[in-house]
Amino acid sequence: MCDTCGIGPELTGSGISIFGKNSDREADETQLIKSVPAQNYPANAVLQCTYIAIPQAGSTYAMVISKPFWLWGAEMGVNEKGVVIGNEALFTRVKPEKTPGLIGMDLLRLGLERGASAEEAAQIIIELLKRYGQAGACGYRDKKFNYMNSFIIMDRRGILKLETAGRDYALQRLSGYAVISNGITIAKDWDFSSLATGTDFSKFSDPLITYFAGSPFRRNRNQASILKAKGAICAADVFAMLRDHFASQPATGFNRDVCMHASDPLIRKSQTTGSLVVELHPDERFRIFVTGGSAPCLTAFKPFLPAAPFRDLGVGAGCYSDQSYWWRHEAYHINAVLRYDTVQPLVQKYIQDGESSSTKNLPAHLWESAEPDLRKISQDAFRESEDREKAMLERMKDIKKTSSLLASCFWSRMARRSGVPLI
């Protein structure tokens, strides 16, 4: 389960566009943040994607991507041209092809590294979809988990929504905003499609799985938040959207939290393992914010510089390592989840103070900017967040666990399997 939004200048009221996404994956699936440089390739070069190899482009754009550690593609990202893409699983009546192809995360990364605009990235994804199809396991441990994909693709000029089922697709051009949450949203109102004129694209939807995935509830909550703040939306508003819980406590109901919390191996097994917010400013300038780990309600969004990435954000595999930022945060996250009722209120001030400082002091900057003052703002934000989380871990030694028996068993099992130290 994931939630993605794109908001144009008409709704921000500041001349900027904002993208936000929570990437919801399996609970112990490491998600890395990588700054990938632009590259040139020789003729006839081959690119190995997650399951298949395809011809490499002659050149690729620099990009920042957030990706599950084990696959080639990405869950979300932005490139140096100001193209931002996030994808969502779609549950449809269309079954994946038996022959391996590209998966949605491959298509997303290919669109970022080859597309100089949202329109160009969308057409690249469409052409690759038609040529190679989408097929292959999308789950880390659950290799039976596969799905179709929808995308928000945006730049400074506009927002596109692209939804797919097999090799079919529908594309919709939007100017104000777009919100997607694991359900088909395009019916007959598409601007461009592989289908005959007037065909309802929503006919591909599997309504039962889509409903239990919580899709309409999460999408409606994000849409309501955007419309309520219309004309005055900033990054802090998107941070708040990505922290939204359906009830006073997370993991209540059928996957209706935007900030998704896993708590059992059957219904609530999806967890927000990474979050990204991108501001696209005029004059080719950016501000990029990431959590670097699970559960945005328990940690701050920190500014990320493509030209000076914080150490260890791109390090990590399938088990705990103190060399990995994601896993160091995960040790804090799992222990906090077991005491969520007590810990979550305690960490709110540090989160609010840190984000307030970052958003106030970080100027919009060019992609390649790495001046000492920018580096300091970014590096200090990550270091302070880690220091606060380490201090809270110490404090948790005197805080009783409050999670339910089912959730406690689930997270204790996750910790044992991955080697996370419990306190």
> What confidence tens digit (pLDDT) does each residue in 110-166 have?
999 999 999 999 999 999 999 999 999 999 998 888 999 999 999 999 999 999 999
Q: Could you tell me where the DSSP H helices lie in 266-422?
A: 325-337, 340-361, 372-396, 405-418
* pLDDT class of 191 with cuts at 50, 70, 90: very high
Identify the pLDDT of residue 95.
Answer: 87
Give percent above pLDDT 70 in the chain: 99
At 404, is the secondary structure helix, strand, or coil?
coil
Identify the pLDDT of residue 215.
Answer: 87
- Residue 92, pLDDT > 70, answer yes
Catalytic residue set: 2
Cα 375 from Cα 212, distance rounded (Å): 43
- Residue 63, pLDDT > 70, answer yes
Cα 65 from Cα 74, distance rounded (Å): 6
Give percent above pLDDT 90 in the chain: 89
User: Region 204-213: what's the mean pLDDT?
Assistant: 85
Q: What is the pLDDT of residues 340-361, one digit of tens each?
A: 999 999 999 999 999 999 999 9
> What's 365's DSSP letter?
B
Identify the pLDDT of residue 375.
Answer: 96
As to burial, measured by CB atoms within 10 angstroms (0-12 exposed, 13-18 middle, 19+ buried), residue 247 is exposed
User: Region 222-235: what's the mean pLDDT?
Assistant: 90
What's CA 262's distance to the chain center, in Å? 16
Q: What is the pLDDT of residues 241-274, one digit of tens each?
A: 999 998 777 776 678 899 999 998 877 889 999 9
Backbone angles phi, psi at 398, to 5 degrees: -105, 10
Mean pLDDT of the chain: 95
The C-alpha angle 356, 388, 247, rounded to 5 degrees, equals 70
pTM: 0.96
Domain extents for the chain? 2-311
Identify the pLDDT of residue 252.
Answer: 67
User: Region 371-393: what's the mean pLDDT?
Assistant: 96
Class of domain 2-311: alpha beta
What's CA 385's distance to the chain center, in Å? 20
* pLDDT class of 239 with cuts at 50, 70, 90: very high
Identify the pLDDT of residue 246.
Answer: 86
Identify the pLDDT of residue 222.
Answer: 93
